[in-house]
Chains A and B, each alone.
Chain A
Amino acid sequence: MSNASSAPSHATILPNGWEMVIGLEVHVELDTKTKLFSASPNHFGDEPNTNIDPVTLGLPGALPVINRRAVELAIRLGLALNCTVQASTFHRKNYFYQDLAKAYQITQYDQPINIDGFMMLPGDVRIGIERAHLEEDTGKSTHFGGTSGRIHGSDYSLVDFNRAGVPLVEIVSRPDIRNADQARQYVSELRSILLAVGASDAKMEEGSMRCDVNVSVRKAGEPFGTRCEIKNVNSIRAVGKAIDYEARRQVDVLESGGTIRQETRHWDDSEGRTHTLRVKEDADDYRYFLEPDLVLLDPGTEWVETIRASLPMLPAARRARLSQLTGTDKESEAVYVIVERGQDDYVQLVADAGGEPARALVYVQQAFAEEGATPAVSAAHLAALTQMERDAKVTATQAKTILAEMVANGGGDPAAIAAAKGFEALDTSAVEAMVDAAIAQQADAWAKYCAGEEKAMGALVGAIMKASQGKADGKVVTAILQSRRSK
């Protein structure tokens, strides 16, 4: 999932001019110590109902007070998504459900804290962000009895309120996404941004990042069709699969003369399909009203600008910088992977130490997958290795062997390793002598090669590499063969 951009395209082409229209609502749990409106721990995986207090349980008289750090993280995220940060209010969203002790969720309604942002995807695709607002998470209910283990037909539910009141930001995209690839890229990039600004650990497997997907289809250029909302999409891979399934389902319904009902559907990952969860016959009536227990949240220009100034360089900017340094496409897999691992600063250090940036990028991508942001191999030593390869003191194959040894030993001087392994340089005249010997021995192959049969070069190169015991540089050998032929 690290590099949605460079993965082969899985974008479904819908038949007969149909087009997908996709919007994403992503909930992320903020990485705070305490809940949004109370001082109980925000901590995943604790024993049920151990992180509870009167506010969490909605006990009479309990009053919410907002967590400053949660507000700060929400603003960090909003700024990273190019949003406008504004004075905001909270509302009560009223509904009855087991995991909501108060019978309402405190959320932001008509004055959210972040509005009107955007995110750029590969290929300069701009996806609008309508809003990124603060709200509280619900508790967790587990349904028992019945046959399905789901709520319909269950006999009873057990409720754990540890998660109730955990601070969330809900990021609502505009319906600007047009295929499953873009949706996966959006979620992947959002995750990278969340990690970069420290707003959330964004672990989809632990539910600290959750996606709801709105999908509709239309004929290109026509107004939006009726949309369905898909829930339970719990991995980036599932985002793509759910969208492709749902869009095809809708096209099938419409092409056979049916209509799409506006409904909420559940993604079943094991079956690879969506099915109806509930039909929105009556528009949900949550009777929103202003939360009387909270006052206006107006962070003010000064605080917002202080936060803006404290933001780290974001993934897109880091990729652009690494791309420029190494002369590699900013949408290449190598650039995505290195930035996601946080190793782009290290590549810069290698370059600063006189190393070859493009070689360093390849080395780091291939050999440092387990190393994290500060690899054990020193930047100076990796720089030295890139120079040895550049100057043909070692072959690419030898460099790879040396690198593997450096990684295994947690460092080491590449020149010393080369010497210990007997990787001394072959001077060009020695290689030329070997080339001439090979041409003499493999007269057939040479004749074919001279006749333009490029594949015949393999036999010659093989003979030379064997004669040099692998010490000849394949690129040098090839160059000499080519120059001999052109004479």
Chain B
Amino acid sequence: MSPPSDAKTTPKITAQVVAKVAHLARLDLTEAELALMTTQLTGMLDHFGDIDKLDLSAVTPMAQPFPIKNVYREDVVVPGLDRQEVLDNAPAPQDGRFRVPPSNGSES
């Protein structure tokens, strides 16, 4: 994530930007969908552009909408899901594992 932008100008959404975001989300968009999404995303960002025009220097940035912090769970094992039941819902279980197509995505 890039740091919060101080730019007063709203970044321009182009069809190329939308195509890249679609690729990252593994969405296959048609030319018509690409054009529609570009228009819609531009409208959304224009709204944030309106907010950017306000003087917000006195407002503390909000990392979380919830006024609570430190919600912990104790380190105690609770039985989870039954493997057979879970694998029965998978398209292609094999040897107690999920069989999936190869991915060209990146490992962490």
B95, chain A: closest CB distance, angstroms: 6
Given A53-B80, A89-B63: A66 touches B108 (CB 8 Å cut-off): no
Contact of A67 among B26, B64, B72, B96 (CB under 8 A): B72
B interface residues, how many (CB within 8 angstroms): 39
B97 touches A49 (CB 8 A): yes
Given A39-B78, A151-B102, A296-B63: A49 touches B83 (CB 8 Å cut-off): yes
Across the two chains, which residue of chain B brings its CB closest to A41?
B77
Q: Give chain A interface residues in 39-56, CB to chain B under 8 Å.
A: 39-41, 47-54, 56
- Complex interface: chain B residues within 8 A of A157 (CB): 99-103
> In the bound complex, what is the Cα–Cα distance between A159 and B80 (angstroms)?
18
A32 touches B75 (CB 8 A): yes
A47 touches B96 (CB 8 A): yes
Given A52-B83, A298-B69: A156 touches B101 (CB 8 Å cut-off): yes
B76, chain A: closest CB distance, angstroms: 7
B57 beta carbon closer than 8 Å to chain A: no
A71 beta carbon closer than 8 Å to chain B: yes
B106 beta carbon closer than 8 Å to chain A: yes
A68 beta carbon closer than 8 Å to chain B: yes
- Complex interface: chain A residues within 8 A of B94 (CB): 158
Given A52-B86, A138-B108: A96 touches B26 (CB 8 Å cut-off): yes
> In the bound complex, what is the Cα–Cα distance between A41 and B48 (angstroms)?
44
B77 touches A98 (CB 8 A): no
- Complex interface: chain A residues within 8 A of B73 (CB): 34, 39, 65-68
- Complex interface: chain A residues within 8 A of B68 (CB): 295
- Complex interface: chain A residues within 8 A of B20 (CB): 285
Contact of A49 among B1, B63, B78, B96 (CB under 8 A): B96
- Complex interface: chain A residues within 8 A of B66 (CB): 295
- Complex interface: chain A residues within 8 A of B70 (CB): 295-300
- Complex interface: chain B residues within 8 A of A66 (CB): 71-73
Provide the B1-24 mask, 1 if CB < 8 A to any CB of A, else 0.
101000000000000000010001
> In the bound complex, what is the Cα–Cα distance between A66 and B24 (angstroms)?
28
Chain A interface mostly: loop
- Complex interface: chain A residues within 8 A of B106 (CB): 95, 97, 278, 284
Residue with the highest number of chain A CB atoms closer than 10 Å, among B24, B75, B94: B75
B107 beta carbon closer than 8 Å to chain A: yes
A96 touches B105 (CB 8 A): yes
> In the bound complex, what is the Cα–Cα distance between A87 and B81 (angstroms)?
33
Listed stretches A239-247, A286-294, A420-428; interface member: A286-294
B87 beta carbon closer than 8 Å to chain A: yes
> In the bound complex, what is the Cα–Cα distance between A124 and B95 (angstroms)?
52
- Complex interface: chain A residues within 8 A of B86 (CB): 49, 52, 57
A189 beta carbon closer than 8 Å to chain B: no
B72 touches A49 (CB 8 A): no
B100 touches A159 (CB 8 A): yes
- Complex interface: chain A residues within 8 A of B78 (CB): 34, 39-40, 53
B31 beta carbon closer than 8 Å to chain A: no
B23, chain A: closest CB distance, angstroms: 9
> In the bound complex, what is the Cα–Cα distance between A41 and B76 (angstroms)?
9
Residue with the highest number of chain B CB atoms closer than 10 Å, among A41, A47, A70, A97: A97
- Complex interface: chain B residues within 8 A of A69 (CB): 74-75
A93 touches B108 (CB 8 A): yes
- Complex interface: chain B residues within 8 A of A118 (CB): none
> In the bound complex, what is the Cα–Cα distance between A278 and B104 (angstroms)?
10
B83 touches A50 (CB 8 A): yes
Provide the B41-60 mask, 1 if CB < 8 A to any CB of A, else 0.
00000000000000000000
> In the bound complex, what is the Cα–Cα distance between A39 and B106 (angstroms)?
28
B75 touches A297 (CB 8 A): no
Q: Give chain A interface residues in 182-223, CB to chain B under 8 Å.
A: none
B interface residues with partner A (beta carbon < 8 Å) = 1, 3, 20, 24, 26, 63-64, 66, 68-78, 80-81, 83, 86-87, 94-108
19 contacts between A and B (CB under 8 A): A32-B75, A33-B75, A39-B73, A48-B97, A49-B96, A49-B97, A51-B80, A53-B81, A66-B71, A99-B107, A110-B3, A111-B63, A155-B102, A156-B101, A157-B102, A158-B95, A285-B20, A290-B64, A299-B70
